[in-house]
Amino acid sequence: MTKILILGGTTEARALAEALSGRDDLAVTVSLAGRTASPVPHPVPVRTGGFGGAEGLAQYLAAERVALLVDATHPFAARISRHASMACAAAGVPILRLVRPEWVAGEGDRWTAVADGPAASAALGPAPRRVFLALGRQELAPFASAPQHRYVVRSIEPVDAAPFADAVFIRARGPFDVAAEERLFREHGIEVVVAKNSGGGASDAKLAAARRLGLPVVMIARPPPEGEAVADVATALAAIDRALRRETVSRF
């Protein structure tokens, strides 16, 4: 059987695993970093935890005789994507990157694009504001330098050590709907939303709610992409079959 390793942690990775799970010519494994305590179940075997850098991943690929790696990690998970490129080059394993398209501002949106967390924190300005932070618990540090604001932080995992005092913490996992997001923003008197440009449909309701309420959004841009990518599962499936056909031809 041909082995495929999907680096996951995203809706797309799970959807791809689902689409491949019925294939009896393939043995598909999804790899998770282990960040969330109770990840959403997958229809294929899952391995959890880091590989020990690019070298460790290259060793894993060789030891497990992986025929193809699909990097379907989150667009902001830059390190694992870099490691995946390096490991595949070292181990001679073809790589396919699956990444959802980014969000694009439309009519009525009031977005300020910034490069990273520190720039987002600075963009909030000196006057105190009520800020909705749609960021992970590991991305809050830059906001320690702007303690004048009142933060509402929503994350999947609990925040154990917040770098600012005045904050409300909400634990929730998407998908979210627009009416509920609007209610949440009104309830907390939110004046500005900070978001990462993750793309996809599971968490874009906050942007529609901000548009409806006329709220500004500080949008953190994606880190530079690691090579070419396909944008959806259907295109990934076709690319996987093409890549595996090429592999078969070169092996026999």
Q: How far is the CB of 1 from ligand NAP (least distance, A)?
A: 21
Q: How far is the CB of 98 from ligand NAP (least distance, A)?
A: 11
Would you state the structure tokens that stand for residue 178, as one six-digit string? 């627009």
DSSP the chain: -EEEEEE-SSHHHHHHHHHHTT-TTEEEEEEE---SSSPPP-SS-EEES--SHHHHHHHHHHHTTEEEEEE---TT-HHHHHHHHHHHHHHT--EEEB-PPPP---TT-EEEEESSHHHHHHHT-SS--EEEEE--GGG-GGGGG-TTSEEEEEESSPPSS-S-SSEEEEE--S---HHHHHHHHHHTT--EEEEE---SSSS-HHHHHHHHHT-EEEEEPPPPP-S--B-SHHHHHHHHHHHHHHHHHHH-
One-letter amino acid for residue 165 of the chain:
A
Q: Between 137 and 212, name the residue whose CB sits nearer to ligand NAP.
A: 137
Q: Are the C-beta atoms of residues 72 and 178 closer than 8 Å to each other?
A: no
Q: Between 32 and 67, name the residue whose CB sits nearer to ligand NAP.
A: 32
Q: How far is the CB of 229 from ligand NAP (least distance, A)?
A: 14
Q: Between 58 and 182, name the residue whose CB sits nearer to ligand NAP.
A: 58
Q: Between 76 and 169, name the residue whose CB sits nearer to ligand NAP.
A: 76
Q: Between 56 and 125, name the residue whose CB sits nearer to ligand NAP.
A: 56
Q: Between 55 and 177, name the residue whose CB sits nearer to ligand NAP.
A: 55
Q: How far is the CB of 64 from ligand NAP (least distance, A)?
A: 13
Q: How far is the CB of 82 from ligand NAP (least distance, A)?
A: 8
Question: What are the Cα distances from residue 74, in Å, to 14, 17, 79, 241, 251?
Answer: 12, 15, 11, 23, 32
Q: How far is the CB of 13 from ligand NAP (least distance, A)?
A: 7
Q: How far is the CB of 38 from ligand NAP (least distance, A)?
A: 14
Binding site for ligand NAP (CB under 6 A): 7-10, 31-33, 35, 50-53, 56-57, 73-74, 76-80, 83, 136
